[in-house]
Amino acid sequence: MGVMAMTRGITPIDAAFELMGLHQALALTRFIFVETVAGKLVFAAGFISSLAAGLEKGNFRPLGVFLFLFFTLWFLFVMPQTVLVGSVSTMEQSGYKDVTTTQILEKAGYAGAMADPVLDLCARWMDALVSGATAVVDKITPANSYLASPFLFSKVSMLTGGILARGITSAELEEETARFYQDHYWPALRRLGQDNGVAWPGQEDVVGAYTEEGASRWRVLRDKLYGACDQDQVFSRMFKRFYEGVVDKDAVVRALLKRELVLKPRRYTIMAYDLHPPVIKMDAVPADVLQRVIQALPFIQGGALFLGWSAFPAFLAATLLSRRIRVLLIFLGCMLSVKAWTLAWALIDKSAWAGFSLNLMWGGPALWQSPVVNIYCAVAAALAPVLVTMGVCLVFRKK
């Protein structure tokens, strides 16, 4: 009996669920083939059917194949077992600390999870293959690593959308912002002769047109607006991780101020300054619905891994009774397809990021003002598991 520490899965959720599935696979396999008469019945049924097939063909090759498969698979998948301890997910390796794989296992009663070493090795090979391919995809946008935090881009966008929808909630900050527009921003625009639909209070040339007092008040106001956008603790952690020289916080503040102008135009036109702000459409699909879809993905993958590995004893029995190793290969192929959901999701995430970057390059709106991108991520991510696994099943069916 050995002890292993390893990295597996992407999130603590799918990593823990897979370990539970491997534990269940070992427990059920030993229960069926060692602790009950079911194993003896499988052996007897396979032996008799192989003998009958051999007598019909006039040779004992079917019986020899059955005996070879039975004892080989018995010593590979039934007898050996190993304790799995110290397993961590890729996210944990990247610094995620909110919840760990070990904590989930302990809470679920799997603190001493065990597995068949061969199945565990297969699972780790699959992990290495999928994680390696995802790491290559991650190179497209290194500042927004999918492995470090899956769908971070979409999560930040949805949280930002929620903050923009709420607007400035502090009456004092709203008053201070309105007064700043009246005393400093509108006068600066007049001096520049700019169209206020393009400029915003933090624009470089606008800041340069402020008086000394106006520039000082803008720095104070800007910090308060940063705080208003960073009011959610979860959002704060995501924000720091996401905005690594890619997008400035000013983008969120600008969007926040623009929405305030749309929702409360008279509050920001005390001086009767001519203002015709563009109408910002509200999200057709609530951000919390999209957020739940994205948050559910690790549970969907983890549940599929748990059920898949738990079903291993049935595939093992089918392999022995049919005397075809292809049954086990189909099983492993299906499990690899479930692992490959990660790669599909990473490609979806990167394509959304690429679309967002091109949109900004062409002068389009920020992602949080373009809910269609978030809807695309949620719908595509929900369909990806079905399409990937169905594709693998079709490949095996043709063979």
pLDDT tens sequence across 17-35: 999 999 999 999 988 888 8
What count of other Cβ atoms lies within 10 Å of the Cβ of residue 72?
11
Bridge partners of 82? 115
> Of the given ranges (93-107, 271-285, 348-362, 378-392), which has the lowest mean pLDDT?
271-285
Q: Which residue has the tokens 């004892």?
A: 71
Mean pLDDT across 335-358: 87
Band (pLDDT 50/70/90 cuts) for residue 2 is very low
Tell me, what's the pLDDT at 277? 47
Paired tokens of 217: 């008040």
What count of other Cβ atoms lies within 10 Å of the Cβ of residue 277?
16
Over its C-alpha atoms, the chain yields an Rg (Å, rounded) of 29
Band (pLDDT 50/70/90 cuts) for residue 142 is low
Which candidate, 69, 83, 67, places its Cα nearest to that of 19? Answer: 83
**Pairwise pLDDT comparison (331 vs 242), residue with the higher score:** 331
Range among 125-139, 219-233, 270-284 with highest mean pLDDT value: 125-139
Question: In this model, does residue 197 exceed pLDDT 70?
Answer: no
| pTM (predicted TM-score) | 0.78
Given a contact cutoff of 8 angstroms between Cβ atoms, the answer to whether 319 and 327 are in contact is yes
Which candidate, 15, 133, 70, places its Cα nearest to that of 321? Answer: 70
Question: In this model, does residue 396 exceed pLDDT 80?
Answer: no
Question: In this model, does residue 3 exceed pLDDT 50?
Answer: no
Amino acid of residue 148? A
Band (pLDDT 50/70/90 cuts) for residue 282 is very low
Q: What percent of the chain has pLDDT over 90?
A: 22
d(CA 162, CA 233): 14
Question: In this model, does residue 7 exceed pLDDT 60?
Answer: yes
Tell me, what's the pLDDT at 79? 82
Question: In this model, does residue 257 exceed pLDDT 80?
Answer: yes
Give the burial class of 279: count Cβ atoms within 10 A of its Cβ; 0-12 exposed, 13-18 middle, 19 or more buried. Answer: exposed
